Chains A and B, each alone.
Chain A
Amino acid sequence: NAGVMQNPRHLVRRRGQEARLRCSPMKGHSHVYWYRQLPEEGLKFMVYLQKENIIDESGMPKERFSAEFPKEGPSILRIQQVVRGDSAAYFCASSNLGTTDTQYFGPGTRLTVL
């Protein structure tokens, strides 16, 4: 049973470009969470999605960031017009039942903005 998969593992973008991060949840999981981690800091919640629905996006910046989890295919976190401050590790996690169920994390995408 494959775990949570994320790609790419490393992504380098120049300021102003777009970054697309992908997350495939564990088999059977329909709840996906995205977190951002800055160096030497904890994980900060960004957004919680179920298939085709955004449940909670209260942690996501209002501009330039968007997320989706289509009926088919992986969840995607998109960052438009990236700035240096977007450089971070972005982790997604998935769970089976949502709410208070265990969240299993993927290996993360390390975004570097030049």
Chain B
Amino acid sequence: QQPVQSPQAVILREGEDAVINCSSSKALYSVHWYRQKHGEAPVFLMILLKGGEQKGHEKISASFNEKKQQSSLYLTASQLSYSGTYFCGTVDRGSTLGRLYFGRGTQLTVWP
């Protein structure tokens, strides 16, 4: 089922931090995070496969709380290039089909 993302939109100044949340009503096998800039393809950021797993990519990191069926994406010391729409995609536990259910996205705007 489609996960719920919050907040819907975030406006930051360069250097500020942000947290984007993704929660599901179903047990999850994995969570996938993407960033999409206007008119472009979604770009893969990271995948979390295990409950409690945390990953980092430069100043962007994420965690996966399997029990709570949710994941959070952390953007630290944001840069102008971080602007875009962030989507989480989830794969339900027990799924053998691999389809991703995407949230509606969180629009992040970073101002100088």
Q: Which residues from chain A sit less than 8 Å from chain B, CB to CB?
A: 4, 31, 33, 35, 41-45, 48, 55-56, 58-59, 91, 95, 98-108
Contact = CB atoms under 8 A, between A and B. Distances in A.
Given A102-B47, A105-B42, A107-B40, A45 B101 contact: yes
B94 to A, nearest CB: 11
4 nearest A-B residue pairs (beta carbon): A42-B102, A105-B41, A43-B102, A99-B98
Contacts of A102: 32, 44, 47
Contacts, number: 69
Contacts of B2: 42
Given A33-B100, A45-B101, A100-B91, 16 more contacts: A31-B98, A33-B98, A33-B99, A42-B2, A43-B42, A43-B89, A43-B102, A44-B102, A45-B100, A45-B102, A55-B97, A55-B98, A95-B98, A99-B91, A103-B32, A107-B40
